[in-house]
Structure 1
């Protein structure tokens, strides 16, 4: 007789199984689901999914701009400017000549989200970004009158570029905070 116990690989640990069982049992076809994705998780997921579009071999960053009434009005990821073929542009990080590294060319996710916005005025919006914005992107955030930045990672808080960014955001009265997920992960299943 076959072992009927599900493997950890197939179904996760006991806690995950219990949560999934409880959430399934609590669902009713006549009531709204309680296990839906919360707004914050949804918006940061869009930023993370956008980051997956980046062809940068070292760092993938994504950003989403969201209005006060939860409308997504801009998405972006780090990549080469429009019309610059990715295969002929430099993607390296190291070198003294900026024209031979990605740093002279790559448009940051925050810049692309602002440039790709689908409405004229994004003042009062929130920027969800996978990485704390650099000082150049912070300037764009201020100029766009975005009022809040929610970031997933802040990998170099002591780097002068990010100290300048925090100072600029503070000076402009723009709130920023690290993202706190409601769910530790979201899975997209296309089947």
Structure 2
């Protein structure tokens, strides 16, 4: 690993730690203020048969928040981390996806050349994944088109926290 890759990995880890601290703060604040989740996330009706001449829209579709959360869960499946798979989806105020990411090494770093271990046998932290792995939300930010996304983030869906965070 060259110096540039190490610098990118260290910077991404720092941003990831900061983003995780903010996410946990929002998680505990929103989690304590909510009671049992409502059934309003999925719009449905109890039609036993569908009339092909019925002009009304379909019921049973996902809410926008559940849609973006599902994308975050799907992106988590791309993670090569053997211990934790987390996905993130950044969404604009207009409901447009700005960036998608998952936890893993930064773009351009070889997945096979860096360690995936949680602990080092020798005690050397550089033999673990932690100095190198980017958090999902950091990768989502890095994967945005920054020119069109400036000041546009409305919410972030994190599959690792099971919540929607407003940024």
CA distance in 2, matches of 1:90, 1:23: 53
TM normalised by structure 2 equals: 0.62
Which of 112, 130, 139 is the equivalent residue of 2:159?
130
Unpaired stretches in structure 1, ≥5 consecutive residues: 1-19, 133-148, 152-174, 177-191
Q: Point out where structure 2 has 5 or more consecutive residues left out of the alignment.
A: 1-43
Q: CA RMSD in A?
A: 2.5
Distance change in 2, residues 1:44/1:24 (3 Å): farther
After TM superposition, the structure 1 = structure 2 runs for residues 28-177 of structure 1, keeping only pairs within 5 Å, are: 29-95=54-120, 96-118=123-145, 119-132=148-161, 150=164
Distance across 2 between alignment mates of 1:128 and 1:39: 11
Q: Which has the larger radius of gyration?
A: 1
Deviates more, 1:118-127 or 1:80-89: 118-127
Q: How many matched pairs? A: 118
- State how far apart, in whole Å, the 2-side matches of 1:78 and 1:94 are: 18
Does 1 or 2 have the higher relative contact order (CA < 8 Å, sep 6+)? 2
With normalisation by structure 1, the TM-score equals: 0.55
- 1:124-169, Cα deviation, whole Å (9 max, x unpaired): 521111124xxxxxxxxxxxxxxxx726xxxxxxxxxxxxxxxxxx
Whether the aligned pair in 2 keeps the contact of 1:44 and 1:64 (CA below 8 Å) is yes
